[in-house]
Amino acid sequence: MGFRHDFLWGGATAANQCEGGYDKGGRGLANVDVVPIGKDRYPIITGQMKMVDFDDEHFYPAKEAIDMYHRYKEDIALFAEMGFKTYRLSIAWSRIFPKGDEAEPNEAGLQFYEDVFNECRKYGIEPLVTITHFDCPIHLVENYGAWRNRKLVGFYENLCRAIFTRYKGLVKYWLTFNEINMILHAPFMGAGLYFEEGDNKEQVKYQAAHHELVASAIATKIAHEVDPENQVGCMLAAGGYYPYTSNPEDVFESRKKDRENYFFIDVQSRGEYPAYALKELERQGIQIEMEAGDLELLKAHTVDFISFSYYSSRVATADPELLAKTEGNIFASVKNPYLEASEWGWQIDPLGLRITMNDLYDRYQKPLFIVENGLGAVDVPDEDGYVEDDYRIDYLAAHIKAMKDAVDLDGVDLLGYTTWGCIDLVSAGTGEMKKRYGFIYVDRDNEGNGTLKRSKKKSFDWYKKVIATNGEDLSNNK
């Protein structure tokens, strides 16, 4: 059986991690620009908002990133050489509306992405476009409090109208918000949120989430009105929670953690707040302010497909002491003793991808799209920039095999698969370059040194073969 004949193989990037050109073409600053390299680059900010500009003490990797702003033709040509059917990228909001609240868009920004999409089309590559991949114009953060403010719904609507109209016929597949559930775990990175003294942080986060959910429904409505061919998806950071033991307390804790992540997608896919979420908000004393028509809007304009990132499964426990002794990444998790881990502590679980796919398809009965999956690792190139990254090939092959099993054996409807960081880019979590995911090595280090030269890794030709055989040949000639 295998994958569908029109399966969308490709790779994924985000503007703030690869584009650079932060001050080119009239672009404004965004939250993702003004955070320096470092483990704690996205703190929970309380009191006076400080992270609104650059200083002389820190290195800000997003300012230049890998300079795809000037090199996109070279990079897209390499994607085409691999045989990409689709390329997932994001739009920098502040490139289209530099402040975010202007009445008219920035023509230079609109033209830049039109050129990028035309370059993709030249090679028969279908753009898959994320409207907001964590970035929020700094002007909206400073002057409106970012997504805590209902006015951002209108500003986002202006963005959507501008891009849906301008790129009609060039872009068919859209994602409204990247990893929308990240707003609960990394509010500044995920939505530009910061907190004032005395704020109920959970109230602020869930109110902001409601604004994003309404904005997503509006985007879906406009996309279908502008072009009935448009397909709009939601996107979550996925990876199910296993119970640490068969103790019913652990089992139920894992269910609660899953619901915490599915809440957003429940609304975007089913069109209403689920009962469990309403009860949880009630228990926490959170009262979401809604405008007349919000619930009708959510119900009438659900997404066409479900997209998600998958890097690892997670483990939940009801024992707070056990959880306190473990270190997660953004999502807290007990270490799974049955799994190996990457250099960054992300546990490797290909079967977990199949489980996640089944969970999502059983829950929503809508087509799925895996838009991020990959292995972050320290790559050591030879003098020509070539990397023998068999570890990456092994990781991806195992996950594609699990993905194929979900399609062949379980009947999951899957539209496509885009690996994360198909070209090396800046890490969202730490701002590092040494945590590399790509098939293409970029000569740049954590301090911004290097020529930015692109060179093919071993995985480049391997993925080219995978695409050419529609996922049938996953072998690696070591």
Annotated active-site positions, please?
A: 372
Nearest to 298 by CA among 209, 238, 236, 226: 209
Measured distance CA(62)–CA(69) in Å, rounded: 12
Q: Exposed, middle or buried by CB within 10 Å (0-12, 13-18, 19+), for 292?
A: exposed
Q: Element (H or E) spanning 415, and its range?
A: strand 414-420
Q: How many helices (H) and strands (E) does the chain have?
A: 15, 12
| Cα dist from 205 to 180, 288, 478, whole Å | 11, 10, 48
DSSP strands (E only) in 261-396? 305-310, 314-316, 368-372
On whether the CB atoms of residues 2 and 472 are closer than 8 A, the answer is yes
Measured distance CA(313)–CA(336) in Å, rounded: 9
Measured distance CA(227)–CA(139) in Å, rounded: 31
On whether the CB atoms of residues 119 and 76 are closer than 8 A, the answer is yes
Maximum separation of any 2 CA atoms in the chain, in Å: 63
Q: Element (H or E) spanning 441, and its range?
A: strand 440-442
Based on C-alpha coordinates, what's the Rg of the chain? 21
On whether the CB atoms of residues 155 and 40 are closer than 8 A, the answer is no
Q: How many residues does the chain have?
A: 478
Nearest to 156 by CA among 89, 105, 87, 231: 105
Tell me the CB-side half-sphere exposure of residue 255, using CA atoms within 13 A.
9
Nearest to 160 by CA among 218, 213, 102: 218
